[in-house]
Amino acid sequence: MLFYGTELSSPLMLGTAQYPSPDILSETVKVSGAGVITVSLRRESANLRAGQAFWSLLQDLNVPLLPNTAGCHTVKEAVTTAHMAREVFNTDWIKLEVIGESDTLQPDVFGLVEAARILTEDGFKVFPYMTEDLVVAERLLAAGCEVLMPWGAPIGSGRGLNNVFGLRSLRAHFPNVPLVVDAGIGLPSHAAQAMELGYDAVLINTAVAKAADPIAMARAFSLAVEAGRLGREAGPMEPRDMASPSTPMLGLASLS
């Protein structure tokens, strides 16, 4: 699947926040084989030139960057941050977050659609962080988005896919739109499940960065997304309500 005309080397997208050290972050990204890494502008300072060591580390990794507007709560703040990110990171890709509720970090879908329209009209390629709502998806596509990023669960919760029905419905309604499960994934099995549902990628941060061994966990997620994708492509069997013997009955010995 192409993301704004770009084919990723892996369906695993990896966040760069909360790692124990820059060295662990660097090795984790390499081991994961991530196709994209996300970064918040708040790690950089365009005016003071702070954070240049971190910026150099990201450049050395040679992985496509997806800046985000993490922590923005208004349309104006998100749009301003996106413009700053484009200047700092030299990319028109932006993961758009407009947070509407502090406890769950649920997106403000009304502000999200408005900000997406403004940014796409200004040439951005928007990756919107959204709920698994079909109507919101339609509005974001109408606003110019070509990728959708529904949450699996609240950011950093590790709860996995809270609404499998909703995520499956999104996939069925938009078969040709690149879909990424973003937020809430806590285990490699959650990532595999998302890929088995037919999603094109998953975005992971906390589950890797906060693991006891981030490097090993990154490897586990890399294998999980590959297994999930291969399982989906292989054509899995449909669930049944009744048992069906895997060993043929024909030819079995009859004892009386």
Residues known to be catalytic: 95
A 10 A CB-CB count for 209 gives: 21
Q: How far apart are CA 178 and CA 167, in angstroms?
A: 13
Identify whether the C-beta of residue 210 lies closer than 8 Å to the C-beta of residue 16. Answer: no
Identify whether the C-beta of residue 71 lies closer than 8 Å to the C-beta of residue 43. Answer: no
Over its C-alpha atoms, the chain yields an Rg (Å, rounded) of 20
- Residue bearing tokens 């309500």: 241
